[in-house]
């Protein structure tokens, strides 16, 4: 096993070992990835998360695309000085498309005679599998490091072919051109909207209802696609508000985060741009966002779709979770039935719905004394007396 593979496996397993195996128990995480979605979902579920799969885009190979065919012929006829390969799937797709056109041998011969740079080890593996050798590959897998190397060497008068991979490369092409290079793009595949938009709409509904704790993004086009769909549905502002305040946006890297951060959404990103570290980051971030409350002699943690009571996970139905979150916003305070009714989705004006949902909530919690009924006024979390200094001794009860 290579060191990189060994390190990534340690990244995957680390939080699981430190947190008893279920650091994400009770949390719900949305997955917008199209490629490797199952792998990411499995990593999350292994740590206890409930996963909502909603591929926000699909990858369409350009085997019949005239633009890729034209770029390939151009590079075969007029050799570049440097070729930069950015993704393994893209490089393999390029070679396969060329073979389908009867240009595979000519393309490989041409690539074998130029300086070939690989963005990272996966791309390097694809290059070597094609029988080629890369000149250099950065340890960081960062396009910024590739750019720094090219600029440091000097690219004035050079012709550089860049295998595009569907994501924006801010400043990369512009910097090379400003330094005097000619840059030729090789578009190997395109991002398209998903054929079934239903899962994306359901994820957006979950974001709006705050029934999902985090949404993961592994590509910038996926992030842009989700926001574009929110705009099409007329809920763009509401989705932005949810992602800014309540729902964690977790991105595999800074390029992926750009469409979100351009809308003022703060994101979290792992130091290593891999699925394992992304999951590891969530294992630390989501539990860290939960405030533990001392209630009726118990330690209460409210998670996405469940509650931890003294470390024991208790699933709670959506209506009950809405009530519990409303009570927890002002722990120890009395919350009126009217306010609780407004927190219930689709409950209308019948306050009896509050009593029904509250009864089910108490059953789900298994500890009736956690929530106290205040006759003719409403309900309150039974905040322990020793917490008075934390929440204010003069607050009304």
Q: Please state the rounded mean pLDDT for residues 126-135.
A: 95
Whether pLDDT at 189 is above 80: no
- Measured in degrees and rounded to the nearest 5, phi and psi for residue 216 equal -100, 145
Compute the distance between CA of residue 332 and CA of residue 82 in angstroms, rounded to an integer: 66
Token reading at 341: 């009714």
Q: Please state the rounded mean pLDDT for residues 290-294.
A: 87
State whether residue 136 is helix, strand or coil.
strand
Compute the distance between CA of residue 87 and CA of residue 33 in angstroms, rounded to an integer: 16
Q: Taking a C-beta distance cutoff of 8 angstroms, is the pair 180, 203 a contact?
A: no
Domains defined for the chain, CATH in brackets: 3-57+194-288 (3.40.50.10090), 60-192 (3.40.50.10090), 293-391 (1.10.10.10)
pLDDT category at 168 given cuts 50, 70, 90 is: low
Q: Taking a C-beta distance cutoff of 8 angstroms, is the pair 61, 246 a contact?
A: no
**Cβ atoms within 10 A of the Cβ of 246, count?**
13
Tell me which range, 38-47, 55-64, 343-352, is most confidently predicted by mean pLDDT. 38-47
Token reading at 54: 């909603």
pTM of the predicted protein model? 0.71
Q: Please state the rounded mean pLDDT for residues 331-344.
A: 89
- How would DSSP label each residue in 70-102? HHHHHHHHS--SEEEE--HHHHHHHHHHHHHTT
Q: Burial, 71: exposed, middle or buried (Cβ in 10 Å; 0-12, 13-18, 19+)?
A: buried
Whether pLDDT at 209 is above 90: no
Contacts of 162 (CB under 8 A, 6+ apart): 84, 86, 169, 172, 173, 183, 184, 185, 186
Exposure string for 317-349, b = 16+ CB within 10 A, e = fewer:
eebbbbbbebbbebbbbbbebebbbebbeebee
Q: At what angle do helices 104-111 and 88-100 cross, to 10 degrees?
A: 130
- Measured in degrees and rounded to the nearest 5, phi and psi for residue 257 equal -75, -15
Q: What pLDDT sits at residue 15? A: 33
Q: Taking a C-beta distance cutoff of 8 angstroms, is the pair 177, 201 a contact?
A: no
Compute the distance between CA of residue 245 and CA of residue 261 in angstroms, rounded to an integer: 13
State whether residue 159 is helix, strand or coil.
strand
pLDDT category at 303 given cuts 50, 70, 90 is: confident
């Amino acid at each position: 096993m290579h060191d990189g593979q060994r390190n990534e496996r340690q990244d995957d397993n680390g939080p699981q070992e430190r947190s008893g195996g279920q650091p994400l128990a009770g949390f719900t995480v949305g997955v917008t990835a199209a490629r490797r979605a199952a792998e990411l979902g499995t990593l999350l579920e292994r740590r206890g998360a409930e996963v909502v799969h909603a591929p926000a885009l699909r990858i369409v190979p350009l085997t019949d695309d005239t633009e890729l065919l034209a770029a390939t012929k151009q590079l075969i006829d007029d050799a570049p000085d440097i070729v930069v390969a950015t993704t393994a799937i893209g490089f393999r797709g390029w070679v396969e498309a060329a073979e389908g056109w009867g240009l595979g041998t000519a393309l490989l011969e041409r690539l074998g005679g130029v300086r070939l740079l690989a963005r990272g080890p996966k791309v390097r593996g694809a290059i070597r599998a094609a029988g080629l050798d890369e000149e250099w590959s950065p340890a960081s897998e960062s396009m910024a490091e590739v750019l720094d190397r090219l600029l440091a060497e000097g690219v004035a008068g050079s012709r550089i072919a860049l295998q595009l991979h569907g994501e924006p490369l801010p400043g990369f092409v512009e910097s090379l051109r400003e330094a005097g290079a000619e840059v030729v793009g090789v578009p190997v595949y395109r991002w398209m909207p998903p054929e079934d938009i239903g899962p994306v709409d359901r994820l957006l509904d979950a974001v709006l209802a705050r029934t999902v704790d985090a949404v993961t993004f592994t590509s910038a086009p996926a992030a842009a696609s989700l926001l574009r769909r929110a705009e099409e549905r007329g809920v763009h502002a509401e989705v932005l508000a949810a992602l800014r305040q309540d729902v964690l946006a977790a991105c595999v890297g800074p390029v992926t985060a750009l469409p979100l951060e351009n809308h003022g959404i703060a994101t979290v990103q792992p130091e290593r741009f891999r699925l394992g570290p992304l999951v590891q980051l969530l294992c630390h971030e989501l539990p860290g966002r939960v405030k533990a409350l001392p209630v009726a002699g118990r330690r209460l943690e409210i998670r996405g779709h469940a509650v931890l009571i003294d470390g024991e996970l208790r699933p709670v139905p959506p209506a009950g979770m809405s009530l519990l979150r409303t009570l927890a916003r002002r722990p120890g305070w009395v919350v009126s039935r009217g306010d609780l009714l407004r927190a219930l989705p689709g409950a209308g004006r019948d306050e009896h719905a509050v009593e029904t949902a509250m009864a089910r909530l108490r059953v789900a919690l298994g500890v009736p004394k956690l929530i106290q009924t205040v006759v003719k006024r409403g309900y309150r979390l039974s905040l322990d007396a020793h917490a008075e200094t934390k929440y204010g001794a003069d607050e009304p009860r």
